[in-house]
Amino acid sequence: MTTNRLIGLYIGHVTAGFARGRASAINKQPVAGPVAAGPLGLAGDEQADPENHGGPERALLHYSLDRYPGWRAQYPEHAARFAPAGFGENLASHGMDEHNVHIGDIYRVGTARVQVSQPRTPCWKLDARFDLAGLAREVQTSGRCGWFYRVLEPGHLAAGDPIEHLERPPDSPSIADAMAAIYRQPHRGHLQRLADCATLAENWREKARRRLRGAPDAGGEQRLTGAPPT
């Protein structure tokens, strides 16, 4: 059993005029805790677009603190913006990333028990948050995306709590594997593995099925650019 530690815990409130006249709650602020975590996420955390954010399969967003130095080096003129909670995460830690976190992994964080449900699919609001056109596309291409949890057992979280890795389903793909299969290397075997993954969120299983049928990522370009629906 592997144990890491919760370094940062963040919640956000909806800002009506975040960018392009649209609302967002991506501007998360640190809280010491304890904060209750339930099926819809942390108490006090808000979502402006419930169709694409939040809900039981996207209850908590985790991002690796180990990713920030790489982003600062890649975009030195925007380095000050690449600070914890910059990606709208609720949880932050060292030692966990998209390669060693797998779909279906179960963790105990504080007194809550959570399960990895899907990668974070980036959208244009990252471009606006960092004032960097194309950042969401770079997050998608590079796979430095973070991941979501569903909450299996509600509990309370606080900065400093241990993150205990309890269980991993056999042959479960990593977050990096899932991102590569959908967005970079759509190999049929890898896509079928995602489509068959019982612990992967249904919307991601459907992404894999669409790829297997040769269909494009529904709304992918609009999601990355923020272009209005046609």
CATH of the domain at 95: 2.40.33.20
Quote the number of domains for the chain: 1
Alpha carbons 100 and 175: distance in angstroms, whole number: 8
Neighbouring residues of 132: CB distance < 8 A, sequence distance ≥ 6:
75, 78, 126
d(CA 141, CA 179) in angstroms, rounded, equals 8
At residue 116, the pLDDT reads 98
Inside any domain, residue 167: yes
pLDDT at position 218: 72
The distance in angstroms from the start CA to the end CA of the chain is: 49
Q: In what helix (H) or strand (E) does residue 5 lie, and over which residues does it extend?
A: strand 3-11
Does residue 168 lie in a domain region? yes
The predicted pLDDT at position 37 comes to: 98
Give the pLDDT of residue 1: 59
Q: Dihedral, CA atoms, 69, 144, 123, 225, nearest 10 degrees?
A: 80
- Cα separation of 57 and 181, whole Å? 20
Which residue type is seen at 7?
I
Q: Is 201 within a domain?
A: no
pLDDT tens for the chain, 230 residues long, are 578 999 999 999 999 989 888 899 999 999 988 999 999 999 999 988 877 778 999 999 999 999 999 999 999 999 999 999 999 999 999 999 999 999 999 999 999 999 999 999 999 999 999 999 999 999 999 999 999 999 999 999 999 999 999 999 999 999 999 999 999 988 899 999 999 999 999 999 999 999 999 887 777 889 999 887 65
Domain coverage including residue 127:
3-172
Which pLDDT score, from 0 to 100, does residue 230 have?
Answer: 55
Looking at the domain assignment, is residue 117 inside a domain? yes
Structure confidence at residue 56 (pLDDT): 97
Q: Is residue 139 part of a domain?
A: yes
Assigned domain for 199 exists: no
Q: Looking at 160-201, list the stretches that DSSP marks H as alpha helix, in order from N- to C-terminal side.
A: 175-183, 188-195
